A and B are shown apart, each in its own frame.
Chain A
């Protein structure tokens, strides 16, 4: 495993909110896209149910900010719960599979097959299991979505250790426990965070989709669904934008923890590449 450190200019998230100059290109693109969106929807009189104007979405968000924010926060908590449960179990499973490799060989084909199941399709079923109004039913979907990316990536990190590293530990008379503590687990951290970042985004998707199949009215997914049925498309879009913002903030939270725990990693200086 060779690590080539490219002189990539540290951009998004080098230090979150770090050097202002690094953010300028992204901000310029954002502003241009919004202006273009506004301009085109106005010029071509695009129907609101197809694509509302950004100004309408912003206005709707402002008018409904209390309700939307409340719903977003509720759904965010479901997503975060699912992320913690699913990724936690994923990390545990990876540790067990890395320690007992034969068990891994026996279970991996089934894990891969299970991963091919469209998990979202289970949302109505978890709603039945845990109750439509119980946030646990949404956490369960989010957790199942988070489990695989975290497990697979962490397992790769735990097992992709240079053979000489293992020989070195053995030469010191170190057993499995020492090898895990001193080599495998630290080696797996960058991989684990890759899995966690994928999972952070998936967890929000899981929670929202779970709510599409029913949930309390103060949940963001339910709110978006209701708005589309009531033809309040600017409000539905405002909800979608808010959902993205919450998903992104969960991602950034994970990225922040990563930054401080794996600052030793050569790539830590330029994780804009990801």
Chain B
């Protein structure tokens, strides 16, 4: 891989491995380049290291070997430069702050002026369609609304990269599908690059431009499935025959990756539906 290629990538991973002190090998030899504007999903069975991979990109976990570049910088530098926003499975909102002040938290840490913060918070709440909830407390909102606040907070300082760790995993199916559509709209509007960890195959296919299929322990990239569904995606996209073909393809890659890696552990099926 030439240095030009990594400079043009938002994220560039080469030879990444991660072993924990307990002796568990979470990731082996991960090579992956993510270009600006891509929406890349990481999918795989539980314990395949997909969340660990996301955290390595965010410099929240250190790799055992290999390199990660984010916007051509080390992951550490990129974190300090606020190059990415992150969304977890739990919304991680602070009860002692109102919705508006939760969204403005990273802006406060960046030292933005009060007026500038106020204006940006308004913009972000418009983006996630939560105008009117500025002074609500997080616990007064539904799970889906909380996750929208969390997305607004992650995007508030306009990072080039959005890291999402199973953000809709705890939500019911209907809310999840609605938020999928909303996330795509936000992604198109904000023009950021997204890395999205999930273990739902339909969700991965519906959202992504590329689906990275990972195998079980130790986590490797088993397959990369480019998603050639058109944009903008709508409820009808889920009825598209091509959507089903891609879902099948991802499912088969998952099964294959699992078969190769497991062998001895035939009881644990990948979490797919």
Residues of A at under 8 Å CB distance from B?
A: 3, 5, 162, 164-165, 167-168, 170-174, 178, 182-183, 186-187, 189, 262, 264-266
Contacts and interface: CB of A to CB of B under 8 A. Distances in A.
B217 interface: no
**Top-9 shortest CB links A-B:** A186-B96, A173-B80, A164-B88, A264-B96, A164-B92, A171-B86, A266-B139, A172-B106, A172-B109
B95 A168 contact: no
B82 interface: yes
Interface in B44-90: 55, 58-60, 79-82, 84-86, 88-90
A168 B86 contact: yes
A136 B84 CA distance: 55
Contacts of B106: 172
Candidate in A171, A173, A183 with the most chain B CB atoms within 10 angstroms: A171
Given A5-B139, A164-B90, A171 B109 contact: no
Nearest to B61: A167
Contacts of A178: 109
B interface, how many residues as a size bin?
A: 20 to 34
19 contacts: A3-B139, A162-B90, A162-B92, A164-B88, A165-B94, A167-B60, A167-B88, A168-B92, A170-B60, A171-B60, A172-B106, A173-B80, A173-B81, A178-B109, A182-B109, A186-B96, A264-B95, A266-B95, A266-B137
B105 interface: yes
A164 B84 CA distance: 16
A187 B92 CA distance: 12
A186 B84 contact: no
Q: Interface residues of B: mostly helix, strand, loop or mixed?
A: loop
Contact of A264 (B79, B88, B137): B137
Contacts of B110: 172
A168 B109 CA distance: 12
A173 B82 contact: yes
A186 B109 CA distance: 16
A52 B80 CA distance: 72
A168 B110 CA distance: 14
A264 to B, nearest CB: 5
Contact of B94 (A3, A167, A171, A183): A183
B92 A165 contact: yes
A110 B121 CA distance: 48
Given A164-B89, A174-B109, 14 more contacts: A165-B94, A167-B86, A168-B88, A170-B60, A170-B79, A171-B85, A172-B109, A173-B79, A183-B94, A186-B94, A187-B96, A189-B96, A264-B95, A264-B97
B3 to A, nearest CB: 26
Interface string B130-170: 00000001010000000000000000000000000000000
A193 to B, nearest CB: 13
A183 B105 CA distance: 11
Contacts of B89: 164
Nearest to B95: A264
Nearest to B90: A164
